[in-house]
Amino acid sequence: MKFLIALIALVVLAAGLFFAVFAVEPAVEPGGGGSLEYVVEKDSASDSDVGSSGLVNVGGSGGREIGNVGTVSAVLAGDGLAAVALGTGILRGAVVDPDGTPLGGAEITLTRFGSESFFLADPDPSNDIKTLTGADGKFEFDGVPVFGDYALIATMESFTRTEVPSIIVQDGKVTEVPPIQLGTGVTIRGRVTDSGGNFVAGAKLVLSQSVFNVRVVDASTRDGAVEVASNEEGLFSFNNVAQGANYSMRVSAEGYGSIIKLGIPVLKDEDTEVDFVLEVASLIAGMVLAADTGEPIPGVTIEAYSVNNTEARSATSATTTESGDFEIADINPGPYQLVARHPRYKAEARTRVDSGEMDVSITLQPLPVVTGQVVDLSSGKAVNNFEVQLRQSIANSQGLSSAVAGTRARFKDTGGQFEILVPKAGEYMVEAIASGFAETNSEPFQVQPSTNMSGVIVRMTRGGAIIGKVLGEGGQPLQGAVIETRDKEWSDDLFWQSLGAQAPGNATEATAKSGADGSFRIAALTPANYQLVVRHRDYAVKYVKDLIVTEGQEFNAPSIQLAKGAVVSGMVLDPGGSPMAGAIVKMYPTSAGGSQHSASTDPQGGFSVKNIRAGSYKIHATRARKGGDSPFQENSDLKRTQRTITVQDGQILSGMDFKLSDR
């Protein structure tokens, strides 16, 4: 059963990666109309929408906090709920120049989305946190949620941007990263001319390491993208470019077609020269119409991608006017693929349009719209403050369903009315989420292509509850334990975490803390088969499974006794036999019920992992990583250091040392 669900998710994951990597010439998914997340705050009495468009992103993972969960001072790229459950730590470090002199005023960014990070959706930098180094070159982040794959990005004028991947923050611990040394890098220089051999002055050149920035969007400083302009002789120069990486460069100038060059190698200790030849710009123009009404559609983004298989590709975009017209005026002569995108319409691609065509007509099919009402089942009254999202059943999964990405929307409406855009035809349910109610689904319904569905009613129930008590050492009540509810199929590993809100399952995800007497109560739970994940800073995590929640009933869970767990500690030595700061130690369970653990070594090369559940584990160490390092080195370290250990509850296993090798 789990294998089937994991296989389905893996296919989705692989598809996501394919489209991310080949973003220069995108394929258009059926029904892929962009993000459908939006907020509508509407008072039925006045019939006026809050805001001009009613379309803004909704954040959050959908989890609910119950009781006195508390807050954290820093929440990154995700959800404060998980941060509370997993705990927080402190991250410290320093920035120095090539001679080891501290650098004050360097900007440090802490993010979950470094250039080597693995994620399913486009990275969102809005939750990154930044700080500046002090006069002594030091920096510190306090209250950082526990996570095993942060990245630190250090930038400062006159130095290369430096990224340190695989930063681990442990619960209640101080993580000290080795000093981040900023270098001066090398130079990428060249000249921009036109096809007649004339110098092109004022050309804009954007250098980036990220494949995402070669799309038609503007460059972002998030991945180190920098911009320069060519001088009167067409010359340009990027200084202090980090070595040992491949780059992309976008070149544009008024009156010329823009081009993108991929895979520009920058070798260590060698400057790079690359020249560009621009052609006089050509045009593509036309109109976008709605298939159902024939009316022009304003606000449609038209992306143009050259289809010639050359090193220097062209990509640009335009937006339709109020009359539905568009004009793309900065392309090179040649054939293009056009992609039209609008949040309320199915994306449409024209696979070949030649430059110079001025009467291109694109027709967009409107996405189906589901409308309905959310009501309180017991009273029949409308619920006026709620969120809704679409769910789809998972085939052969014994009734499990999964949220449909991008369909979550929040409404404030005195009549309980809602509207959801549907990405493609299929069978769906509407799930409603509101304070004081269990997350409740509508009856399943079928959506046909380009056909709206109305009259969907979600009758919200109060759900059931789980009550229980958490005990610590000696069977005494344990205060402050964090209890999370999860679907019975959920697994505490990185793969399931990467699925986020789209993970399969019908259970409500909620969190509570145990009180002074160790007791807890989690209410408004959708009827389902649950498991509890119970965590406490001083104890090993425990999973309690097969808790059946039914409507209107309380499930009294057996007392949950937490174990102290084991402690594993040791040192990591570099190939020369010296202690290695910032090395990474990871443990993976090989017996049932275990959890993954990770730690990084301190400045003396030491590490410690506590609260390990009894069982068998594979443990290995890898050296401290720097941006641009070979990924094969990590695999080599893993193979040479991996061993299997077995730990017992309360055991202290010290002397678990690793020596890395250059062989």
Give domain 566-659's CATH architecture. Sandwich (2.60)
CA-to-CA distance for 124 and 128, rounded, in angstroms?
A: 8
Task: Say if residue 222's pLDDT is above 90.
Answer: no
What would the CATH number be for the domain defined by 31-60+368-460? Answer: 2.60.40.1120
Taking residue 34's Cβ as centre, other Cβ atoms within 10 Å add up to 15
Tokens in use for 327?
Answer: 């004009």
Alpha carbon of 413 to those of 43, 372, 396, 452, 453: distances in Å? 5, 12, 37, 21, 19
Is the separation of the CB atoms in 2 and 191 below 8 Å?
Answer: no
Greater confidence (168 vs 362) lies with: 362
Q: Measured between alpha carbons, how far is 79 from 89 in angstroms, rounded to an integer?
A: 16
- Cα 487 to Cα 504: distance, rounded to the nearest angstrom: 8
Q: Which CATH code for domain 186-278?
A: 2.60.40.10
| Sheet strand arrangement including 528-536 | 64-65, 510-513, 482-487, 528-536, 539-549
The helix or strand, by DSSP H or E, that contains position 4, with its residue range, turns out to be helix 2-21
Split at pLDDT 50, 70, 90, the class of 45 is very low
Domains 186-278 and 464-561 in one fold: yes
Task: Return the pLDDT at 267.
Answer: 86
Over 90: is that where the pLDDT of 147 sits?
no
Tell me what pLDDT residue 338 has.
Answer: 95
Question: What is the 8-class DSSP label of residue 356?
Answer: T
Contact 655, 643 (CB under 8 A): no
| Domain residue limits, the chain | 31-60+368-460, 71-181, 186-278, 282-364, 464-561, 566-659
Over the range 145-161, which residues count as b (16 or more CB within 10 Å of their CB) and which as e? bbbbbbbbbbbbeebbb
Please give the average per-residue pLDDT across 453-460, as a whole number: 96
What torsion do the CA atoms of 618, 619, 625, 627 make, to the nearest 10 degrees?
20
pLDDT digit string, tens, across residues 80-124? 444 445 678 999 999 999 999 999 999 999 998 776 655 544 556
How much is the pLDDT for 203?
96
pLDDT digits (tens, 9 = 90+) for 416-426: 999 999 999 99
Six-digit token string for 504: 């399969």
For residues 535-558, give the mean pLDDT: 94
Give the pLDDT of residue 88: 86
Tokens, residue 580: 């290695």
What tokens does 264 get? 């520009």
Spatial separation of the C-alpha atoms in residues 369 and 391, rounded to whole Å = 14
- Residue-wise pLDDT for 240-272, tens only, equals 888 878 888 999 999 999 888 888 888 888 899
Please, which pLDDT band fits residue 15 given cuts at 50, 70 and 90? very low
CA dihedral 143, 148, 150, 151 (to 10 degrees): 130
For range 629-633, the mean pLDDT: 69
56, 39 contact by CB (below 8 A): yes
Contact 369, 38 (CB under 8 A): no
373 token code pair: 């009402």
pLDDT at position 11 is: 42
Q: Which position has the token pair 């890098």?
A: 185
Contact 233, 279 (CB under 8 A): no
In this structure, CATH architecture of domain 71-181 = Sandwich (2.60)
- For the entire predicted model, the pTM comes to 0.72
What is the number of alpha carbons within 13 Å of residue 307 lying toward its C-beta?
Answer: 16
Percent of the chain with pLDDT over 70: 79
- Whether 340 has a pLDDT exceeding 50, the answer reads yes
Distance CA 1, CA 342 (A): 38
228-232, 394-398, 421-425 — which is least confidently predicted? 394-398
Distance CA 369, CA 450 (A): 9
Q: CATH number of the domain at 282-364, out of 2.60.40.1120, 2.40.10.10, 1.10.1740.10, 3.30.70.260?
A: 2.60.40.1120
Q: Are 295 and 363 in contact (CB under 8 A)?
A: no
What CATH topology corresponds to 464-561?
Immunoglobulin-like (2.60.40)
pLDDT at 166: 84
Residue 106 makes CB contacts below 8 A (sequence gap 6+) with 95, 132, 133, 137, 139, 154, 155, 156, 159, 182
Give the rounded percent of residues in the chain with a pLDDT score beyond 90.
58
